[in-house]
Structure 1
Amino acid sequence: MKSRLRKYIGSFGLISMLTVAGCAGSGSSGGETASSGDTTTGEDVTQISFIHWRGEDVDAFEKIISDFESANQSVQVEMNTYPSEQYQSNAQQMLRSGSVGDVFAVFPGSQFEIMKKAGLMADLTEEAFVSNFEETPIEVGQVDGKQYALPYQMVFNMPVYNKDLIEAAGFDEIPQSWEGFLAMAKALDEKGIAPIAIPAADIGVGQFMNSMVMNNSEDGIFEKLGAGEASLTDEWWVKTLTQIKELLDLGYFQDNPLGTQQDAAMALVARGEAAMLATGSYHMSSLKELNPELSLDLLAPITVSEDQKRYDGIHTATFMLAVNENSEKKEAAKAFIDYLSQPEVASYYANETGQHLTVKDVTYEDESLQNTAYWLSEKETRFQPRYMITNAQVEKAVLSSIENVLGGASPEEAAAEAQKIVEENLQ
């Protein structure tokens, strides 16, 4: 594989003297790359910039970058990572000059729409490496039949749970109704265990929202909301907020959910003080690092009766890899994506980071990945509803209504306030 890629890079004739624009964030490179203060990397070397928000994946990417550079002497990769909220807010501005983010990751939904409208993503439709990905998951990176971004990760955006705690509470199987979910939460609470830890202070409430709305609303509901054809004051959203309020009032979240950050919420689960972490599969590996004895799986609260259930959980094809349209190093950037999409490389990344991927022929050796692989084929999952909100201000209003409920507002008041903001933005 390495010799083939060396030839692949060489065919582009990438020989140049480059100027590297430094940028804030946590930077790294797998090879002898110039620091952010340097202006050149020397003759015969092209340096590309790779930016993303997955700080927890830096070690894995550093190894991949090192191997890539060893196989491709004419290219070096400088990686910078940013907190996800900062990345959401500032990535577009960073990419405009073309000097940063030759390869960049983009969120599905509103950020993808913003990047597309700004003309920041190069058309990858005809690139051979597109065929290295599964066809269905990468549709989220397509517009009008053209491929602008390639989702790398297949994430399940629903709570991770401690199997031993759930079983000790008397539940060998996860309840498939709202009544059953409440009964399970009550059993955990009576044992002094917080049923749900939600890191609302930094990760936010968006992931938990996906599970809660999954069976309460029809497919396409947020597209209708964005078109003015549905309202947050309708029954589907008021019911969702009401159920979140019910969990709050019953004491089924940890203390002070709005003030709890990711690390604190993860620690509660790792110590066995909380049964569920209301984020997603991307935190399973980190939880295992905190406590290797944990036995983990995934669940989504079923908010309807068992006979009304349509979906078992939530999935997202995310961490979408794109090439900056303003970059002068597109061919080197594409070669790096090609390398990331090789099965051997993707398998290493998957097992090191605990991520299911969209790349074909990935081999999962990580125990947590093996134990949850059945979600890829055996469960009926819905694409993350939150990412179907393409207006950033509308998305903020939706999430704020949940935060307001967690802060004590009534579901009806929170829904009405959010809908007012939605209507203002749609106008």
Structure 2
Amino acid sequence: MLKKKYGVFAGMLTVSFMLAACADNSSQQEAEESGNDSGGDEGSSASSEDATEISFIHWRGEDEEVFDDIISQFEEENPDITVQMNIYPSEQYQSNAQQMLRDGSTGDVFTSFPGTQFETINNAGFFTDLSDEGFVENFAETSLEVGQSGGSQLAIPYQLVFNMPVYNKGMFEELGIEVPTSWSEYQEMAETLKENDITPIAFPGADIGPNQTMNSMMMNNAKNVDVFAQLESGEESLTNDWWVSTLEDFQYFNENGYFQEDALGTNQDSAMQMVADEEAAMLATGSYHMASLKDLNEDLELGFLPPITVPEEEVEYEGIHTATFMLAVNQNSEKKEEAKTFIEFLSQPDIASQYANETGQHLTVNDVEYDSEALQNTSHWIDEKDTRFQPRYLITEAAVEDAVLSSIENTLGGTAPGEAAEEAQQIVEENIGG
């Protein structure tokens, strides 16, 4: 079952105030490239001159079509409210959301990542307390903690994401490969794939980088769920074995061909195409890409296969999960009630089920029915597997997060793991006053 550890996020981040004037279409995530402005069709948006228009901002451009339909349903049911949806590239959204929310004219309903962005927006005072809203009960209680601070429910996680590699189950069956349960079995699996001219893992280093892979690579190397909190308090160090061994594992994967050539230069779309074309067995991202992979190759049968870097007897965690795409109401909005009405609509089981099945996302909403094959094949991870909350989201200082991720990229670029760890630790100490 899911093992929860969200921690108390703290610290202010320096946020860029450069806001792009328009958004282009986006393609996803913690890797998503472009954004778009949308709000259902113009006819429904202009259905009533007296309607109150609310602004809904987020970063998931690949969800535009289903949100357009959901917004149309909402406007039909609530003719006195229209929704203008604006979608931004995720990195732009993470950098600029605070500035967008500042005057209350944008983002009546907005979304937040857990961790550093949540804490930044919270410190700026832009969350509306949703603790007493009835729709909070529509969400699984076990998923709500990540959106809480100081005893208040400030944001509602909508998606339950599994941040670990997605693999081609059909390929494994054809090659007679069993899912590995130890480091030695994982090595055997990778060698079998390579012998069949298949790259074990397509790694999108050019845009997503190690943001997702680091979580499952370290999950059993650093079993202490407070390790990043202790790093930021000065009690832990990246030069200790838990992180150096993780960098050594990245080095091993890279030097032994577990990643494709020029992994740091491969973008998300190219990595996904490798899996769709069955040139690679796994995609080093997460569940949020399963629907897109099926769009590229409808015959793919997909599952999750996080890297196992320790002997079987040392395995404690089987995977990684995150409660994210957190829905919130802008404290500076003059349309809070209408914004809450929209979130309440999104929390209805039939609407949530439509969103889940059409986007390939597991959700935190109670009573969601998963009709898609991919979701049905992976839903057992919610209750039957010991998964750990994404460690990266427990880093609260942006500079510390950058140092951690850069140490992986430097290792993949040829720097010795110990040296990369020392360089990163120096940056950590400069930013925590250690």
Q: Same fold (TM over 0.5)?
A: yes
Larger Rg: 1
Q: What secondary structure is seen at the aligned counterpart in 2 of 1:51?
A: strand
How far apart, in 2, do the equivalents of 1:68 and 1:42 lie? 14
Distance verdict in 2 for CA 1:103–1:189, change over 3 Å: same
Q: Counterparts of 1:265 and 1:257 in 2: how far apart (Å)? A: 9
Determine the C-alpha separation between the residues in 2 that align with 1:22 and 1:366.
36
**Which residue is 1:159 aligned to?**
165
Out of 26, 35, 42, which is 1:32 matched to? 42
Q: Are the aligned partners of 2:399 and 2:428 in contact in 1 as well (CA < 8 Å)?
A: yes
Distance 1:30 1:141 in 2: 28
Contact 2:47 2:79 in 1 (8 A): no
What is aligned with 2:6? none
Alpha-carbon shift at residue 226 of structure 1 (Å):
1.2
User: What is the DSSP-based 3-state SS (H/G/I as helix, E as strand, rest coil) of the residue aligned with 2:141?
Assistant: coil
Q: Distance in 2 between matches of 1:99 and 1:231?
A: 43
Match of 1:113 among 119, 138, 150: 119
- Which of 181, 184, 189 is 1:184 aligned to? 189
Q: Deviations over 1:223-272 (max 9, x none)?
A: 11111110100100000000110011101101111111110000000000
Q: C-alpha separation between the residues in 1 aligned to 2:164 and 2:206?
A: 18
Q: C-alpha separation between the residues in 2 aligned to 1:41 and 1:296?
A: 42
Matched, 1:375 2:385: no
| Coordinate RMSD, CA, aligned | 1.6
Q: Find the partner of 2:351 among 324, 345, 352.
A: 345
Q: Secondary structure at the match of 2:86?
A: strand
Amino acid in the other structure paired with 2:205: A
Residues 89-128 of structure 1: per-residue CA shift (max 9 Å, x gap): 1111111111111111100011111111111111100001
- Equivalent residue, structure 2, for 1:141: 147
Mapping 1:265-414, distance limit 5 Å? 265-414=271-420
Separation (CA, whole Å) in 2 of partners of 1:99 and 1:234: 47
2:209 matched residue in structure 1: 204
Structure 1 residues 285-294 or 249-258, which shifts more? 249-258
In structure 2, give the amino acid aligned to 1:28: S
CA contact (8 A) 1:31 1:65 kept: no
Could you list the per-position Cα deviations for residues 350-398 of structure 1 after superposition, in whole angstroms to 9, with x for gaps in the alignment?
0000000000000000000001011011100000001000111111110
| Partner Cα distance (2:92, 2:205) in 1 | 16
Where 1:414 maps in the other structure, the secondary structure is: helix
Letter in 2 for 1:104: F
The aligned amino acid for 1:30 is: G
- Where does structure 1 lack aligned partners over 5 or more consecutive residues? 1-20
Q: 1:157 to 1:54 in 2, by over 3 A?
A: same
- Identity, in percent, stands at 61
| Deviation (angstroms), 1:183 | 1.3
1:181-203 CA distances to partner (integer Å, 9 max, x unpaired)? 11111110111100001111112
Q: Would the aligned equivalents of 1:31 and 1:76 in 2 still touch at CA under 8 Å?
A: no
Residue 246 (str. 1) matches residue 252 (str. 2): yes
Give 1:166 deviation, angstroms.
2.1
Task: Report the Cα distance in structure 2 between the residues aligned to 1:28 and 1:322, rounded to whole angstroms.
Answer: 19
Please, which of 66, 75, 79 is the counterpart of residue 73 of structure 1?
79
CA distance in 2, matches of 1:42, 1:56: 28
Are the structure 2 counterparts of residues 212 and 272 from structure 1 closer, same or farther at C-alpha, using a change threshold of 3 Å? same
Instruction: Tell me: CA distance 1:258–1:242, structure 2 relative to 1, closer, same or farther (3 Å).
Output: same
Whether the 8 Å CA contact 1:196–1:253 is kept in 2: the answer is yes
Specify the alignment match of 1:124 in structure 2.
Answer: 130
C-alpha separation in 2, matches of 1:101 and 1:121: 11
Is the contact between residue 31 and residue 69 of structure 1 (CA under 8 Å) also seen in structure 2?
A: no
CA distance in 1, matches of 2:368, 2:44: 33
**Secondary structure of the structure 2 residue equivalent to 1:136:** helix
Q: How many residues are aligned here?
A: 402
1:150 counterpart = 2:156: yes
- Post-superposition shift, 1:83? 1.2
Residue 42 of structure 2 aligns to a residue whose secondary structure is coil
**Distance in 2 separating the partners of 1:230 and 1:33:** 57
Report the counterpart of residue 64 of structure 1 in structure 2. Answer: 70
Out of 411, 422, 425, the position equivalent to 2:428 is 422
Cα pair 2:48 2:80 within 8 Å, conserved: no
